[in-house]
Structure 1
């Protein structure tokens, strides 16, 4: 799938360039495409320098949290909920700890680090699966919640914005929090309907109702604020939460008499190994997307969508952010490249760039996750996993666009 997507970018760009040359007499289009290839290759390296630091830093702190028992504590706290949502998983099974650690990595926005942990969790769930080819209910719920991308602290999105020169990288903290909550809720409800999970169970309600009430009250409070106040609050909460987590991990580790420095180095080495494998993918996708835009093909597609949106009488400023949404289900690297390219083309704090960053932080690579997670354990029948995951992804995209109009409606397009 990824192979076809990448090849398709180049083929569509070639057809578009030929059309511009033969029909419009634009002979300079090929020079622009070649220049774009080298420019994007250079940009890939610049992005990777900061990505190395970000993944190394946060996997180091995540290792401290793991060794300090925070992850195990979370597994115990969430144990009663998982018992109801995944009744086929025995209490205390290793899969629960791995699922919790995977969710923790996703919550911190460390999608590249979450994948290897998620694969371990999927293998542990497969050990409980009576079928070797069909996904179990527990595997489907885990995958859909993973694909819904519950991101409480999107540090990699902050990193991309910082690399592109954003004066306040955490500006999109609250929009992503609201959009990702929506996608996760839709994913959970869709699986619950398909699997007939008893969400009205007192234990499940004890977890979900307070969370829903708190989120509702928080949104009601946000509704009383001006756009300027919303942006300021998002920045403050983002930075306070980010530094607060670091202090929590360190203090907890110290109180548990853990060698926090040694654990940080151990996790940082893992982060370095994860990061260094990403450069070839980033170069490949950024160059392909750079060629696609330089050829005029991407702009032609967006113009068509823009005219349709305007014909409906709607504001069309969000259309320039749609490339990230359109490729996100297929490839995380492609969506990441689309986000960076949107920031480059429109400005890091432009409305399209803010929407694209929110979409990137609140949705997941559905088909990639399906292929990798199920492929790793030989699952061939995904059952209702695809439909539920795509529904959650659609909810995340729609919510991201709506929330950005709420927060940044006055920002130029």
Structure 2
């Protein structure tokens, strides 16, 4: 008994494949925009003994009841719904119905009818057509977006294309990167349009709304559109110190603010000369949350004692990194300090001037002394030479040397 049942289960599909049977394949439902067309993907089969009856005399009919025909491919201009069909000799009953209206929202079934023995209804497989006043909303995938900054992101927008001659046009707002469009097919052979947006995630995209718009062209030339808005994008990024960070001096106080943004939300820490600064009798620190990614910290330093330039650091950190901002603060001097500096400058100037004068005098004295020595040496040499006859001149007395020196100096 079991073997016979197994043979029956195996043999029935095989017999069905070899002998063929009457069946049709159409979608269960199709939504279409009012005033547009609808393309019904359709294929059928007949019993093997009717294969030879599929010829050029065959026509396709779409009916809502056994008596009511809404489309006849042999008289396309006289139908309640105008359109065209595929090649029935190849068992292709794909049909396009034009200018669909709300009253055409019904269930339809297919009939093949030839000028021979082949005439058959397929009422068991019905198609429900739903005519809508507005176009269907496009679908965005993924539905949520949470990625790190720098990651390559792909978003897909898809919308039904019930009318193949007027498929929807898909547009992105904002247009963040490259866009690639294709026309694809569902399992039931209906078509849909897809648009893939590829871009690199940036902190500038965080919390930004991304929308896809589907624009449908009607057969009368008018258009209808629908929009789907998401991917509020959740972009994870390291902290950044904003340009609003600054410091100001008031009498006896130093006031600084530091603003940072990052995702996850960052922490802020003040440092002075390389050491962390916390609340104390000299430092008052407070902070406030600006949004889910922003933080602002304030610090007030009472009675600062340092002078000249000193680095005040604001450091922002989260799990992805950190950022630093150095504020080099100049402490203004008091009137007494400015007077002391001026006095010191005058004193230094006077000392330098005196040193210059003394050095000049010393140089003049040294030059005169050197000149006197040279002249004295020259006179001595002149007095010690021989006369023209080769006889030595008598040595001069000290009085002679003094007289000659005086004559030379005149």
TMscore range, shorter length: under 0.3
Structure scoring higher RCO (CA < 8 A, sep ≥ 6) equals 1
TM, length-normalised to structure 1:
0.18
Normalised TM-score (structure 2): 0.18
Q: Which has the larger radius of gyration?
A: 2
Structure with higher helix content: 1
Q: Which protein has the bigger strand share?
A: 2
